[in-house]
Every structure is written in structure tokens, then in C-alpha cells.
Amino acid sequence: MTSSTRRRGRFGTEPPSTGAAAQDAEPDQESVARAIALRLLTSSPRSRAQLAEAMARKDVPDDVAERVLDRFTEVGLIDDVEYARMVVRTRHAERGLSRRAIAVELRRRGIDDEVAGDALEQVDADDEESAARRLVRRKLASTSGLDAQTRSRRTFAALGRRGYPPGLVARLVREELAAQDPTADADLDGFAPEQ
């Protein structure tokens, strides 16, 4: 028995000449596009752009993808406005991200700037400052055994990664450190966070 015969073995040749597999045609592109969209939407909400990108990776023609995406939008399975609002709510409340960081994430997910701007109006300056203050308190508590400058530097870095402006962070760090230890402010003289 040759190696090619052994490899074919009981599975025969491709495509088979008889049976259901011989009669099944390749699925049409619209079915493929629908299957991709439904599979992705089943796991979590997605933006229209994310679904279009997934379809493009599977070589679904643009016109077919547009047709399927238009239909899914029409029946309410795709709603970029609600999707953007959901992303803003969850990223701000659960992860403490700033409006700026959320805007970058929305853009990366293919959300139109106008839609993103409307969704970001859910978070006002007071909400953002409250979230930043909670993060500052949490970071300062986790670094309580360190000197004031090290604590401040680490807090700046943590909030900077979440998109908070340095001026806001500096003010909050000074306020929180002063509330914990009035002499800490003197320890920060000359400390200028990296902008």
C-alpha cells in the first residue's frame, strides 16, 4: 500500500463523487455574510464597521456585505447609536475610562464621530472628575507604604493610561494626599508630572 493510498484510505477523494457532499453546493455569499453577522452578534453587540470588517476578512464581496448589513440595521440587529451609548456607559462605569479614552475606543470600533460625540454626552465633567477621584483614591491606597513622589508618579501613570488630563490628575492627587497627610504637599514641591 503506498502512502498516498493510505492517506486517502476510507475517506476517498475530494470532492466525493457520490452522496450528500457531492450534491451540496458552496453556500452563497449572502448566507455566509448573514452567518458571520449572526455569529458575532450572538456573542456580543458589534458596530456595523466591525461586522463589515469581519465579512471582508472572509472575502464577502462589498455589495453583498452592504446588503446584509442594511437589512440587519433595518430590523434593529445593528444599531450604532445604541452600541456607542452602551460602550460609553460600560467603559466609564466599569473601567473608569475618561471621555477621551472612550472616544478613541469608539473610533477604533468604527463609530462615526458625530454618533460618538452624542454618546459621550452621557458623561459630563462632574462624572469624569468623580471617576478620576475614585481612581486616585484607589491608587493612593494601594501605594500607601511608598513616598509621596512615587505614589504620585504611579497615580499619574495609572490615570494617564485611562485618558485623564494631567491638570485634573495633579489637582486630585494633591487634594487626596493633603487629605491623608497635610505634610505630603510639601513633599511634592518641585514634582512636575510628565505631560
Are 31 and 55 within 8 A, CB to CB?
no
Q: Are 87 and 93 in contact (CB under 8 A)?
A: no
Percent of the chain with pLDDT over 70: 79
Percent of the chain with pLDDT over 90: 70
Torsion angle (degrees, nearest 10) of CA 104, 40, 112, 124: -50
Per residue in 103-156, pLDDT (tens digit) is 999 999 999 999 999 999 999 999 999 999 999 999 999 998 888 899 999 999
